[in-house]
Amino acid sequence: MKKLLNDPGRVVVESLAGLAAAHPDLLEVDLGQRVVRRRGGTRPGKVGVVSGGGSGHEPLHAGYVGVGMLDAACCGEVFTSPVPDQFVAAHHAADGGAGVVHVLKNYTGDLLNAEMAHDILRAQDVDALEVVVTDDDVAVLDSTFTAGRRGVGATVLVEKLVGAAAEEGRDLAACAALGREVNARSRSMGVALTSCTVPSAGVATFALADDEIELGIGIHGEPGRRRAPLQPAHDVAAALLAPVVEDLALRRGEAVVVLLNGMGGTPLIELYLMFHEVRSILHETRGVTVARSLVGNYITSLEMAGCSVTLLRADDEIVRLWDAPVATPGLRWGA
Amino acid sequence: MKKLLNDPGRVVVESLAGLAAAHPDLLEVDLGQRVVRRRGGTRPGKVGVVSGGGSGHEPLHAGYVGVGMLDAACCGEVFTSPVPDQFVAAHHAADGGAGVVHVLKNYTGDLLNAEMAHDILRAQDVDALEVVVTDDDVAVLDSTFTAGRRGVGATVLVEKLVGAAAEEGRDLAACAALGREVNARSRSMGVALTSCTVPSAGVATFALADDEIELGIGIHGEPGRRRAPLQPAHDVAAALLAPVVEDLALRRGEAVVVLLNGMGGTPLIELYLMFHEVRSILHETRGVTVARSLVGNYITSLEMAGCSVTLLRADDEIVRLWDAPVATPGLRWGA
């Protein structure tokens, strides 16, 4: 294992200390609980937006805390759910008196721990709590850590759009409904060129031959649909797009938001090249317009090489909320 | 070679096509010349700021075109200088009638091609042209492609700060003087954990054993100061910082801007961890304050794993220009 770290058991807390030091204008970190909260807390009367999950997907989730996205996030060990107390602490950190939306990716461990946290919160007479679960990955129905589809790239889009809706004053039910709608309008699929290595394990999660890729990879290295020979970027883009477009039942003339996401180890020069392929296929073959796009490392798998494509069926309201100001370490514009 | 590409000879142009499609609000791309220019061109009367160099360092330079940074950039093949015609085209694309500053990294090929371009421009009666050369890398004095020190991370800082100065209306001489001062106040050193592979070569530029790192690596994989065993992040941070702090002659009580830069293949969780180490050493051992910081992939070497540290001796004016709005694909805040 070749990584820039000290003690594999302290990667998450030492990284969060760096995040806190790098962004004192945006956020504060409770290193004991490993909970990140918006600097100054949630504005009274604003719906809080919270997320949490295993670490190793940076900037997700802690890097999306700030203005116009998350109010708090809790961070588990690498690829491991936070414990219930962390979700409880994140809830309280984000509670501005108007209720809190919890955005969760559909993984069994995350959901179990979050549900225990919600029981604790209800016992504390906290009722204004809504849950949005993302499950946008079309690659496989069930997976190593999942009943049903996995939650991947749509999580970034849900966090951005619900964050914008909360910032402009929508109430708890409306924020949660928007989050569920954004998830329902989104589909993703990813590809791995290499594995990644969890620091506490010290060895690669899986192995791929030098001329082999894994189509439909999960963000923890879970198996996808199939292994295939290394192929031109155009063919990889087509292989990722086909099931996404079909599952979404996209029709000619529709518009989408595209997230072309890097898995962590693939350089930007390749990600922009892949975006060019994705956009060309959408335009020329599918008759689908790209209304907005995001190209870069947004939901990663440590140093895995590869990428994923997420499409969100757009409308004017989604584009308006997308364009709303956001100021977080991982996503920032207009503020 | 395991990369997301089609034809190694078309990586740069296909990636630029993706950049253009992803950021139509910020920039326009001439794919023939491989010149990227600010959308709508340079405001009349504003000093233009231009850079250019080999590709493979994304987001540098094309990803820094927009508001408050570069007005134009020209892109060579991977790790290869642009040709003179590209520098000429970038100059004209950035010329708003108040002269143009060319920011160049100190590599022999870049300087030769840029000098030929400047001769062509002078023959066209273009005289309002200033050159700022960055040479902040303390690792080695001369290098594979360099007489004198290499230009690395300071280039990002010069482009940001000169861009801010030009945006607020400083004249050509003042912008160039600021760029030279920022470079003179900056020092860098990097480390590689892995090599990278130039697409047209198809094989790794160099080889490192599984337990070996290269201290003082260049951004094209040029040899550094020494190979060393893989070591804790704290020790790597100390090894990078010591020559930087000493060469800058930083004294207790001074403040710096820190760029903790990823080489492309190292995930954000490790970069923030490294920033925590760098900041701790600066605070606790050196008595130096971090006034501002930037943590992420800003001047990369394709998919190389590793990082570099750049320190810029700060003052109030540098911090003020740092905080000025910037809107580019690679760096964005306040706009």
Residue B207, Cβ neighbours under 10 Å: how many? 9
Residue % of chain A over a pLDDT of 90: 97
Q: Which residue has the tokens 């000290």?
A: A6
* Residue B12 included in any domain: yes
Q: How many residues does chain A have?
A: 335
Residues B278 and B240 in one domain: yes
* Residue A70 included in any domain: yes
Residues A138 and A204 in one domain: no
- Interior CA angle at B199 toward B193 and B200, to 5°? 130
- Residue in chain A lying closest to B283 (CA): A21
Q: What is the pLDDT of residue B7?
A: 98
Cα A202 from Cα A24, distance rounded (Å): 32
Cα B334 from Cα A36, distance rounded (Å): 22
Final residue belonging to a domain, choices B184, B203, B222: B184
The helix/strand/coil state of B186 is strand
Q: Mutation target for B interface from A3, A4, A197: give the one with most B CBs within 10 A.
A: A4
Cα B118 from Cα A51, distance rounded (Å): 53
Residues A29 and A174 in one domain: yes
Residues A33 and A167 in one domain: yes
Which run of H or of E encompasses B295? strand B289-296
Q: What is the pLDDT of residue A188?
A: 98
Summary mean pLDDT of chain A? 97
Whether A144 has a pLDDT exceeding 90, the answer reads no
Span A102-125, pLDDT tens digits: 999 999 999 999 999 999 999 999
* Residue A321 included in any domain: yes
Residues A176 and A260 in one domain: no
Residues A135 and A191 in one domain: no
* Residue A7 included in any domain: no
- CA B58 to chain A, closest CA, distance in angstroms equals 6
Residues A176 and A192 in one domain: no
Q: What is the pLDDT of residue B42?
A: 97
Nearest CA-CA partner of B72 in B97, B46, B43, B92: B92
Contact criterion met (CB < 8 Å) for B233 and A55: no
- CA B193 to chain A, closest CA, distance in angstroms equals 7
Output the six-digit token pair for A260. 């072309």
Q: Does A272 touch chain B (CB under 8 A)?
A: yes
Into how many domains does chain B fold?
2
Which run of H or of E encompasses B325? none
DSSP letter at B124 equals T
String of b and e for B160-193 (b: at least 16 CB within 10 Å)? bbbbbbbbeebebebbbbbbbbbbebbbbbbbbb
- What is the average per-residue pLDDT within A232-247? 98
Q: Does B271 touch chain A (CB under 8 A)?
A: yes
Q: What is the CATH number of the domain that holds A255?
A: 3.30.1180.20
DSSP letter at B244 equals H
Whether B35 has a pLDDT exceeding 90, the answer reads yes
User: Do the beta carbons of residue A327 and residue A335 sit within 8 Å?
Assistant: yes
Residues A165 and A250 in one domain: no
The helix/strand/coil state of B254 is coil
Q: Does B14 touch chain A (CB under 8 A)?
A: yes
Residues B138 and B191 in one domain: no
Residues A162 and A17 in one domain: yes
- CA B280 to chain A, closest CA, distance in angstroms equals 9
Q: What is the pLDDT of residue B143?
A: 79
Q: How many residues does chain B have?
A: 335
Residues sharing a CB contact under 8 Å with residue A252, sequence separation 6 or more, in sequence order: A286, A287, A288
Final residue belonging to a domain, choices B154, B184, B214: B184
Q: Does A217 touch chain B (CB under 8 A)?
A: no
Residues of B in contact with A236 (CB under 8 A): 4
Whether B146 has a pLDDT exceeding 90, the answer reads no
* Residue B332 included in any domain: no
Residues B59 and B173 in one domain: yes
ipTM of the predicted structure?
A: 0.98
* Residue B331 included in any domain: no
Residue B122, Cβ neighbours under 10 Å: how many? 11
- Residue in chain B lying closest to A293 (CA): B22
Whether A252 has a pLDDT exceeding 90, the answer reads yes
Q: Does B207 touch chain A (CB under 8 A)?
A: no
* Residue A331 included in any domain: no
More confident residue, B213 or B335: B213
Cα A136 from Cα A149, distance rounded (Å): 7
Contact criterion met (CB < 8 Å) for A276 and B15: yes
Nearest CA-CA partner of A266 in A219, A300, A230, A240: A300
Q: How far is CA A62 from CA A13, A159, B258, in A?
A: 12, 11, 21
Cα A81 from Cα A115, distance rounded (Å): 12
Q: Does B36 touch chain A (CB under 8 A)?
A: no
Span B93-130, pLDDT tens digits: 999 999 999 999 999 999 999 999 999 999 999 999 99
Write the secondary structure of B133-159 as one string of H (helix), E (strand) and C (coil).
Answer: EECCECCCCCECCECCCCCCCHHHHHH
Span A51-105, pLDDT tens digits: 999 999 999 999 999 999 999 999 999 999 999 999 999 999 999 999 999 999 9
* Residue B231 included in any domain: yes
Q: What is the pLDDT of residue A147?
A: 86
Residues A115 and A231 in one domain: no
Q: Classify residue A110 by burial, with Cβ atoms within 10 Å: 0-12, 13-18, 19+.
A: buried
Q: What are phi and psi of A52, to 5 degrees?
A: -175, 160
Final residue belonging to a domain, choices B131, B151, B184: B184
Output the six-digit token pair for B137. 């890398």
Cα A264 from Cα A101, distance rounded (Å): 28
Q: What is the CATH number of the domain that holds A35?
A: 3.40.50.10440
Query: Residue A139's domain spans which residues?
Result: 12-184
Q: What is the pLDDT of residue A145?
A: 80
Write the secondary structure of chain A as one string of H (helix), E (strand) and C (coil).
Answer: CCCCCCCHHHHHHHHHHHHHHHCCCCEEEECCCCEEEECCCCCCCCCEEEEEEEECCCCCCHHHECECCECEEEEEEECCCCCHHHHHHHHHHHCCCCCEEEEEECCHHHHHHHHHHHHHHHHCCCCCEEEEEECCECCCCCECCECCCCCCCHHHHHHHHHHHHHHCCCCHHHHHHHHHHHHHCEEEEEEECCCCECCCCCCECCCCCCCEEEECCCCCCCCCCEEEECCCHHHHHHHHHHHHHHHHCCCCCCEEEEEEEECCCCCHHHHHHHHHHHHHHHHHHHCCEEEEEEEECCCCCCCCCEEEEEEEECCHHHHHHHHCCEECCCCEECC
Cα A259 from Cα A182, distance rounded (Å): 13
